[in-house]
Structure 1
Amino acid sequence: METTTPASGWRPLGETPIRLGLGPANYAGQAAAFAEAICRHRADVSAEVTTRRTGARFAFPTDIHIEPERLGDLDLQIEQLQRVIGRYTHLVADAFLPVFGLLNGHHIGADLPALRQAGVKVALLAHGSEVRHPVRHRERTAHSPFHTLADDVRDKMTARAERNRRVAETSGLPVFVTTPDLLLDLPSATWAPVVVNVSAWHSDEPVLRRRAGLRRRRPVVLHAPSKRWTKGTEQILPVLTSLHDEGVIDLRLAEKMPWTELRDLVRSADVVLDQFALGSYGTFAVEAMAAGRPVLAYLHDEVVTLMDEPPPIVNATPQTLRDELTALVADPRRAARIGAESVEYAREYHDGRRTARVFEEFLDA
């Protein structure tokens, strides 16, 4: 376990009435972003973020790093017990992962008795595949990535989603989801929108034209899948490659790229493509909207109805992507308007204010 100084602005755990722990998944840096948003919104909260390593390096701000191979080590488990019990008044347990290593089991449900006994108030936070039901998703979504999933992998993911749903339904705890589509899997949950630093993604680069007013020879279209499988990349690449070869677009495919480099690519792109399989939108789409880039993605009809105000995303499927993208890049005024609306939407729904308010009832309990 390694302790570091967080790179951004939540109030370090200290002498505040509410001492909030978040983790240990911190997917897409959202536990850190939530900590910053909540601390900015409330002076009575200090926070500590724990992150389980998922790659060769730690990409997002955190206070505590945990090596997955040490989850079964008794010394790490004791450290986590001492870190949580008696220090935290509240805990946002994300991705249904255990907080005491593997001391009690492989999911947060196994840790709940100890947390209750210690008087720690717990909320559950879901991000995606830990609660997304593969069979149900496949039934309602023609473009679902679960259509091509191997049976053994599907069965494993289904069992995990069903177990975590049982934990959510039987625990009596407040449950939050970071993307609206997950409300279809956890109907009693509350949407806590993903949080991005909108100002950090600001771009002065005009959409579909250069600063001097001259349009680029070919519009730059960016697709940056974190995982090709969940983004539907293989379904859309033939269309994108064809448009690139025809000279309609300049396709940029970015994978396994440092965050700062990816941010520069987003800021200079004309159009950003998010996902075309899951039926919702996530952190990368919001970051692109914050940069004023028009975003194309697949939004399922049921997901759209769950939102008071759907995002200004150009809705497309793998089958309609060619027509939608071609029409957009041929209409600079429309693209610029969508880009401007996207910044406003990101600021209204995803700058952290709404998310912090969503947690108020839990924090005040």
Structure 2
Amino acid sequence: MPAASTRLYIGPVNWAGQGYQWARAVRRFGNDADAVNMAYRVGTEYGFPADYVVPVGVYSWSREWQERQAAYVHENFTHVLVEAERILFAGAFRGSLPAEVRELGRRGIGVAMLCHGSDIRLPSRHAARHADSPFRDGLWDLTPTLEKQARRNLALLESLGRPVFVSTPDLLVDVPGATWLPVVIEPDAWSTDQLPFQAHGLPVVAHAPSRAAVKGSDLVDPILQQLDDEGLLRYRRVERVAASDMPEVYRSSDIVLDQFRIGSYGVAACEAMAAGRVVVSHVSDDVRRHVLEATGETLPIVEATGANIEEVLRGIIADPAPYRRRAGDGPRFVTSVHNGLLSARALDAFLSEPGGGPGAGRGGE
């Protein structure tokens, strides 16, 4: 338990290690505030760090753990950030998140909700706005399930009436009253003195999709393989690599391809930017505009879609100098926007009010 006067508990998913990183941000930059995160875990899940890891079987089925954990949080924390609309204490309150939130509020604990992405992104809305959406034309068999889940979670957020945070700016379309809570990485863990286009005979292009269907790997894989066969570049398709090994994957590459279907950017793109690589991805105009307006910083990701990725890559390789300069902006951008300071500031209003603020209105407004 943190010793600060404001004590934040974050859980229970820690996707991409972000629960842990947001807790570190509050610890480092908060005003007499500290935080810890909890995550239930199935296997190693890429080895992302967490303050408190609970095996999924214990989380799901141990009534003793559920009740003791609820009592500990009730007695020792002032605020709670609930990730991905998942219940914190499983069966302790009949498996009901509204019941958990009511009990936390009854005890004077502030509660806010944190949306990560697939939990709240409405596939039908996304498909209507993005030509290459993964939710179009039966591309992803999980789309009907995700549509039901997102609609259920949107209704849940509305009924709870708590402050809401989203991890990426594109999700503000789905939750308009929410507050952007930037993802956090440790820039120094990714930095390198090696500039792109210097260490290799041919440029090395890496693509490490967490979910190929979402990242649009099918749009770029054939083109990259063709360019590799031509001898224009070397293509490295990376899958199921431990988090601890990813810095070396990016440092040993010149260009990193992120995603081409969602229209936003997240942890992987930030890591590649921190490594000073040329990051190529599809990021919508709305997201780029929001980042600029919210931070004063221009997102240094090279724009490309599945339709023009070949043209973009040929242009980069033919004249790498301006793209090397763009890559050089990456570490500065990440240090400014994604080192945890802006994330801690985003949480300030929520953490400064006992019980989450008067009325605990949505979106932290």
Task: With the length of structure 1 as denominator, give the TM-score of the two structures.
Answer: 0.91
Q: Residue 291 of structure 1: CA displacement?
A: 0.7
- Asked whether the 8 Å contact 2:132–2:260 carries over to 1, the reply is yes
Q: Residue 24 of structure 1: CA displacement?
A: 0.7
Which stretch has the larger CA shift, 84-93 or 159-168?
159-168
Q: CA distance change for structure 1 residues 361 and 330 in 2, over 3 Å: closer, same or farther?
A: same
- Counterpart selection for 1:312 from 300, 304, 325: 300
| Partner SS state of residue 242, structure 1 | helix
Determine if the alignment matches structure 1 residue 127 to structure 2 residue 116.
yes
How far does the alpha carbon of each residue in 1:77-113 deviate from its partner, in whole angstroms, 9 at most, with x for none? 1122123111111111111111011333656334211
- Counterpart selection for 1:182 from 155, 162, 171: 171
Other-structure match for 2:214: 230
Letter in 2 for 1:95: A
| Partner SS state of residue 252, structure 1 | strand
Q: Distance in 2 between matches of 1:52 and 1:300?
A: 33
Other-structure match for 2:97: 108
Which stretch has the larger CA shift, 99-108 or 259-268?
99-108
Determine if the alignment matches structure 1 residue 360 to structure 2 residue 344.
no
| Partner SS state of residue 229, structure 1 | helix
How far does the alpha carbon of each residue in 1:252-284 deviate from its partner, in whole angstroms, 9 at most, with x for none? 111101122221010121010101111100100
- Asked whether the 8 Å contact 2:250–2:272 carries over to 1, the reply is yes
Q: CA distance change for structure 1 residues 237 and 43 in 2, over 3 Å: closer, same or farther?
A: same
Q: Residue 43 of structure 1: CA displacement?
A: 5.3
Q: CA distance change for structure 1 residues 159 and 49 in 2, over 3 Å: closer, same or farther?
A: same
| Partner SS state of residue 142, structure 2 | helix
Q: Percent identity?
A: 36
Determine if the alignment matches structure 1 residue 281 to structure 2 residue 269.
no
- Asked whether the 8 Å contact 2:46–2:242 carries over to 1, the reply is no
Other-structure match for 1:5: none
Which stretch has the larger CA shift, 69-78 or 198-207?
69-78
Other-structure match for 2:279: 295
Q: CA distance change for structure 1 residues 137 and 42 in 2, over 3 Å: closer, same or farther?
A: same
| Partner SS state of residue 262, structure 1 | helix
Q: CA distance change for structure 1 residues 119 and 198 in 2, over 3 Å: closer, same or farther?
A: same
Other-structure match for 1:141: 130
- Counterpart selection for 1:249 from 233, 245, 266: 233
| Partner SS state of residue 287, structure 1 | helix
- Asked whether the 8 Å contact 1:80–1:101 carries over to 2, the reply is no
Structure 1 or 2: more helix by fraction:
2
- Asked whether the 8 Å contact 1:254–1:262 carries over to 2, the reply is no
- Asked whether the 8 Å contact 2:4–2:34 carries over to 1, the reply is yes
Other-structure match for 2:356: none
Q: CA distance change for structure 1 residues 357 and 43 in 2, over 3 Å: closer, same or farther?
A: closer
Letter in 2 for 1:34: W
Letter in 2 for 1:360: D
Letter in 2 for 1:204: D
Q: Residue 65 of structure 1: CA displacement?
A: 1.3
Q: Distance in 2 between matches of 1:176 and 1:296?
A: 27
Which stretch has the larger CA shift, 146-155 or 336-345?
146-155
- Counterpart selection for 2:81 from 86, 92, 101: 92
Q: Residue 172 of structure 1: CA displacement?
A: 2.4
Other-structure match for 1:332: 320
Other-structure match for 1:200: 189
Other-structure match for 1:163: 152
Determine if the alignment matches structure 1 residue 209 to structure 2 residue 193.
no
Q: Distance in 2 between matches of 1:282 and 1:260?
A: 18
Q: Distance in 2 between matches of 1:313 and 1:227?
A: 20
How many matched pairs? 348
Which stretch has the larger CA shift, 126-135 or 104-113?
104-113
How far does the alpha carbon of each residue in 1:192-235 deviate from its partner, in whole angstroms, 9 at most, with x for none? 1111101111011111013xxxxx32100010011111111112
- Asked whether the 8 Å contact 2:19–2:37 carries over to 1, the reply is yes
Q: Distance in 2 between matches of 1:58 and 1:329?
A: 32
| Partner SS state of residue 318, structure 1 | coil
Which stretch has the larger CA shift, 35-44 or 89-98?
35-44
How far does the alpha carbon of each residue in 1:12-38 deviate from its partner, in whole angstroms, 9 at most, with x for none? x23321111011111111111111111
Q: Residue 347 of structure 1: CA displacement?
A: 1.1
Letter in 1 for 2:81: V
Please tell me the root mean square deviation across aligned C-alpha atoms, in Å.
1.8
| Partner SS state of residue 86, structure 1 | helix
| Partner SS state of residue 103, structure 1 | helix
